[in-house]
Amino acid sequence: MAEATPTLLSGGNPQIPKGYGDGPVQAYIAAMPGWKQDIGRRLDALIVRTVPGVRKAVKWNSPFYGIADDCWFLSFHCFTKYVKVAFFRGAALSPVPPGASKSKDTRYLDIREHDPLDENRLADWVRQASQLPGEKM
């Protein structure tokens, strides 16, 4: 029996059932549309390289990355024109990621199709974020 293709929600965000581990995250990435899939693969690989033993989950149709059980430091989500990376304690990172949030602690990085991806800067933010207390969700 052929596997069903995930539904794409508004902005092209894949609708993936909640789940823990690498499997649900890889299903999310595989369902990311077009150029966003490459960004998802690059983000996932960078996070795994930077934070050995990172925990993964899909919640609210977004991949989450953390250190401890149900404590998360980063997530990303597809929107129509960009992939939004959320650093849940981003205000404590140096330098602070550019995207403001309604939450005083959270900061965002929006990655658009033709944006150069500064993997060194991103890896540094991921490393810093993984060392901060995670967000319980």
pLDDT digits (tens, 9 = 90+) for 88-135: 999 999 999 999 999 999 999 999 999 999 999 999 999 999 999 888
In sequence order, what DSSP letters do the residues of 29-86 get, joined into one string? HHHS-THHHHHHHHHHHHHHHHSTT-EEEEETTEEEEESSTTEEEEEEEE-SSEEEEE
Listed by start position, the domains of the chain span 13-136
pTM above 0.75, yes or no: yes
Which amino acid, one-letter code, is at 37? Q
pLDDT digits (tens, 9 = 90+) for 11-26: 778 888 899 999 999 9
Contact 17, 24 (CB under 8 A): yes
- Cis check for the bond before 63: say yes or no (omega within 30 of 0): no
Confidence class for position 3, pLDDT limits 50, 70, 90: low
Q: Does domain 13-136 have CATH number 2.60.120.590?
A: no
pLDDT digits (tens, 9 = 90+) for 51-61: 999 999 999 99
Contact 97, 51 (CB under 8 A): no
Q: Does residue 46 register a pLDDT over 50?
A: yes
9 vs 113, more confident: 113
pLDDT of residue 105: 95
